[in-house]
Amino acid sequence: MRRAGTWTVPAESRWLSLFGDVVLDLREARVTGPEMRIEAGTVFGDVDLIVPEGVEVEARSRTVFGDTEQEAGEPAPRHAPRIVLSGGSVFGDVRVRTERLRARPPQLAS
């Protein structure tokens, strides 16, 4: 299950997968409020949350036979969006990271 590009993130959402990854890319997403609660869980897969710089993430996720890696989402400036990530993975990892958007090639007019 993957969600990326321009999309609206509701204040509360739930993402579940069995035998697959949950990838939520929030770099181009529109947020609906100052705090979002995301529950993302999987069995035999990974949870990957990609956030833009300047966003605070509180990872409450748990793993069984996996690791939790938080490389982004540290305390952010005042009034920055805040994400509370819950859920987790069984036989997989939970990762919170940031990544620069690649420049998209120009589109040719048809």
In a domain, 58, yes or no: yes
- Its pTM stands at 0.86
Tokens of 25: 């890319």
| DSSP 8-state secondary structure symbol assigned to residue 46 | -
In a domain, 63, yes or no: yes
Distance CA 85, CA 94 (A): 10
Mean pLDDT score across all residues of the chain: 90
104's CB contacts (< 8 A; 6+ apart) are none
Which of 37-41, 42-46, 71-75, 84-88 is predicted with the least confidence, judged by mean pLDDT?
71-75
In a domain, 107, yes or no: no
* Amino acid (1-letter code) at residue 3: R
**What range defines the domain where residue 36 resides?**
2-98
In a domain, 67, yes or no: yes
In a domain, 33, yes or no: yes
In a domain, 27, yes or no: yes
In a domain, 91, yes or no: yes
Distance CA 31, CA 7 (A): 9
More confident residue, 33 or 43: 43
Q: Do 47 and 14 form a contact (C-beta atoms < 8 A)? A: no
- Please count the structural domains in the chain: 1
In a domain, 41, yes or no: yes
Distance CA 66, CA 1 (A): 19
